[in-house]
Structure 1
Amino acid sequence: MKNKLLIIGASGHGKVVADIALKMNKWQNIAFIDDDESIKSSMGLEVIGTSDDVFTYIDEYEIFVGIGNNATRQKIHEMLEAFGASIPVLIHPNAVIGNQVDIGNGTAVMAGAVVNCCTKIGKSCIINTGSTIDHDNFIADFVHISPGAHLAGTVKVGQGSWLGIGSVISNNVNITSGCQVGAGSVVVNDITEPGVYVGVPVRRV
């Protein structure tokens, strides 16, 4: 493990990622890179370059993509993987992680999140503040589970999908890749086609 961490993205999501990294107390040095050159520091941490500079740091730093947009995060994460970057998992000390939980690299688990036993979470996911993922779930790569979203047991969420704040997913439900589930929505049946879904219960819009 390298003792330095570089976070790509110094705004909203990147700040929360940095807060987790600081609380993990694992790295001697944490810094950002960001393409907005007017940002010189964030969270009291230095911004040391733009995304063009990432490869000059790849040998020295572990690198984490602190970008909320699923597609952008996927693109950068896959590029880092191709170049052999060391990509950690970030788990807030106040998150609860059950037994036999597998979490892929580049995933951030925020404060107050609960991930129950026998769940598998893919790479570069966001398990946001106060969300709950119950037993035997499968969360594919590059998924965003928003704050306060609640997933019952044996739920599957496909790659790149986004579950909005406060959404609720019933047990044994499968949500396909490329879906957006709106804030406060309730999913009680499988979603088999990509798209935007809202309402109680959800309908496609």
Structure 2
Amino acid sequence: MLIEITDAEMRALEYEIADPAFLYTSQIQGRAKALADQIVALEVDRCRKNGIAIPSSDEAIVVQAYEAGTVKTAERRLADELATQPPIDAPAEPGTLKAISRKQFALAVCQDGVISFDEALAWATVGTLPKILAGVLDMIPDDQVRQEAIMHLAASTQFERSHPLTPFVAYLLSSDEKTYDSAALDELWARAATL
């Protein structure tokens, strides 16, 4: 893995950190070790339950865990989850919900507590996607689908409730606290149209 930063960014880091490369390398290695420990525990448990030989090193156990399907990459888990999500229906009465502006959509989602006001403002004014959307969109493995989704969300000035990406965006914005099913999405659209 190679992380590229500009000279100015490196100088900014050096203002506070004596050795930025060491600091971030150690953070990445520490996170990798913690995740490897989780994978090893899962795979060892699977092996013990099924009478399977346990490899002699953590590295070999991690490789075996992936090969056996005990674990999957975050990208693969996201793709699997998206593929199994039931579609969110189109609005109950097509044509009854007007197109809303990016500002209205961003503000309504902000009012729902899904994104911050600063994120809503940046999205509405210059098209900077909120972290919750940008992070998940970056994980879409298909370049064309990812680019279309990013372009639609960042550059469109209006959003249609019936657009094919609307259910996908609703899924990405949903959380344990706020779920955008068909009815909630219709309500968001109607409310956003008044903002």
When the two structures are superposed, what TM-score results if normalisation uses the length of structure 1?
0.22
More strand by share: 1
Q: TM-score, normalised by structure 2?
A: 0.23
Structure with greater contact order relative to length (CA < 8 Å, sep ≥ 6):
2
